[in-house]
Amino acid sequence: AKGLGTELVGRKIICYDAVGSTNLLLKDMARQGAENGTVVVADTQGMGRGRMERAFFSPPGKGIYVSILLRPNFLPQDAPKCTLMAAVAVARAMEKFGLRAAIKWPNDIMHDGRKMVGILTEMSAEMDCVNYVVIGIGINVNIASEDFPEELRPIATSLMQMKGEPLPRVAFLQELLRALDALYACAQQEGFAPVLAAWREYAVTLGQQVRVIGPAGESFEGMAADIDAEGALLIDTSTGRRRVLAGDVSIRPK
């Protein structure tokens, strides 16, 4: 895109003051044929959606709520890797602003044990072929602790709290889209291995004793050993190695 300097991501960018959810909106547009690389960004969301049916706090004037449409030519089982790719893109953008990211598998970016960024990837596939992937990224940019609802204060933080000063939202979004464009181009050419290698550099989950809570609420503990080529987390438990493709991970003190 002109100005942004990207190849694909942000060829078309649609900005809103307020939406329900940028992911929902972009999924509708995708079904109606929106082109590869389309980006929807909103200043605030009334119904920001998170993983596992949770809400994502999206107040006006303080965050980045963005969704990116990709129409990749890979198999549905490759789609979870888009989530890891998005987390790396956020980490790269943070680096431009002097911040070092810590990624908790698969997609949360953390500071002081609290979450600053969440990513929700949604996909539509037919007959083993990906129709579209919508990557939704929510970033707490300039949200002060007291701006969060009380129940979120112990678990949520922001880039501003990490840096000690506010960050420019538009400039951050531009860096994010550039980083994502570069990573996606690389993944299309060389596959996801370099993206996964980059993810490992920022991972705080690996090598830690963790508790995993699966999508159905089942849970177990073990040592997070690595991620595999599909982006699944490999956990060594007392009864052997387990592979986790979806779920929540909490890092437990040893």
Task: List contacts with ligand BTN (CB under 6 A).
Answer: 21-23, 45, 48-51, 54, 56, 65-67, 118-120, 136-138
Distance (Å, whole) CA 237 – CA 232: 15
> Nearest residue by C-beta to ligand BTN?
118
User: Tokens at residue 251, please?
Assistant: 């890092």
Is 124 exposed, middle or buried (CB count within 10 Å of its CB: 0-12, 13-18, 19+)? Answer: middle
Beta-carbon neighbour count of residue 225 at 10 Å? 13
Quick one: 21 or 240, whose CB is closer to ligand BTN? 21
Quick one: 45 or 157, whose CB is closer to ligand BTN? 45
Least CB distance from residue 6 to ligand BTN, whole Å?
19
Is 222 exposed, middle or buried (CB count within 10 Å of its CB: 0-12, 13-18, 19+)? Answer: buried
Quick one: 73 or 137, whose CB is closer to ligand BTN? 137
CB 134 within 8 A of CB 69: yes
Least CB distance from residue 159 to ligand BTN, whole Å?
15
Chain centroid to CA 216: 21
Q: Cis ω on the peptide bond leading into residue 72 (within 30° of 0)? A: no
Task: Provide the greatest CA pair distance for the chain.
Answer: 54
Least CB distance from residue 145 to ligand BTN, whole Å?
18
Quick one: 176 or 198, whose CB is closer to ligand BTN? 176
Quick one: 112 or 126, whose CB is closer to ligand BTN? 112
Least CB distance from residue 190 to ligand BTN, whole Å?
27
